[in-house]
Amino acid sequence: MLKTIHQTVTFPIPPDKLYDMYMNQKLHATITGQPVTISRIAGTRFRAFGGMILGKTLQVVPKRLIIQSWRSKEWKTEELDSTLIISFWPDKGGGRVELTHVNVPEYDYNGVNEGWEKYYWKPWREYLLKKETGIGMAKAA
């Protein structure tokens, strides 16, 4: 059975900056601590976490929306790719990320759901805190 993940996360920076953090290959890798290949051009393939996550960027609305086909290397070959929809919105004091991740295999639902917090939202918060306090500014440049 396929499942859907819904998450909403707020950060103390504008939504366009959050979009840039996700779509900038170098910054994305700095924040997650893992290699990534990503492009702002629809139709291009992406890889994250050393090839553990694979997919294709299907649609981009600059500074606002990213839609990707997405799959874990651990998923069975015959399984459909999931679809990841990430949108970026203004929010009090910063920006909000709304994530919808559809067609996640039930056996991997908990891992993927928890993985977003562990591998994305927590490192983003830590990166922003370091940047705010002046620690790690050289890495961001």
Nearest-angstrom CA–CA distance, 28 and 21: 6
User: What's this model's pTM, rounded to 2 decimal places?
Assistant: 0.90
- Evaluated on CA atoms 95, 131, 59, 109, the torsion sign reads negative
User: Does any domain span residue 101?
Assistant: yes
Condensed to tens digits (0 to 9), the pLDDT of residues 55-90 reads 999 999 999 999 999 999 999 999 999 999 999 999
Condensed to tens digits (0 to 9), the pLDDT of residues 88-134 reads 999 999 999 999 999 999 999 999 999 999 999 999 999 999 987 66
Question: Which H helix or E strand runs over 59?
Answer: strand 53-61
User: Does any domain span residue 84?
Assistant: yes
User: Does any domain span residue 135?
Assistant: no
Range of the domain at 107: 2-130
Residue 35 sits in a domain whose CATH number is 3.30.530.20
Nearest-angstrom CA–CA distance, 78 and 52: 17
Q: At a CB cut-off of 8 Å and minimum separation 6, what does 74 contact?
A: 52, 108
Pairing of strands 2-11, 82-91: unpaired
Nearest-angstrom CA–CA distance, 18 and 138: 19
User: Does any domain span residue 49?
Assistant: yes
User: Does any domain span residue 138?
Assistant: no
User: Does any domain span residue 140?
Assistant: no
Per-residue pLDDT band at 137 (split at 50, 70, 90): very low
Per-residue pLDDT band at 140 (split at 50, 70, 90): very low
User: Does any domain span residue 115?
Assistant: yes
Pairing of strands 65-72, 45-48: unpaired
User: Does any domain span residue 137?
Assistant: no
Nearest-angstrom CA–CA distance, 93 and 91: 6
Nearest-angstrom CA–CA distance, 23 and 114: 21
- The terminus-to-terminus CA distance of the chain in angstroms comes to 44
How many structural domains does the chain have?
1
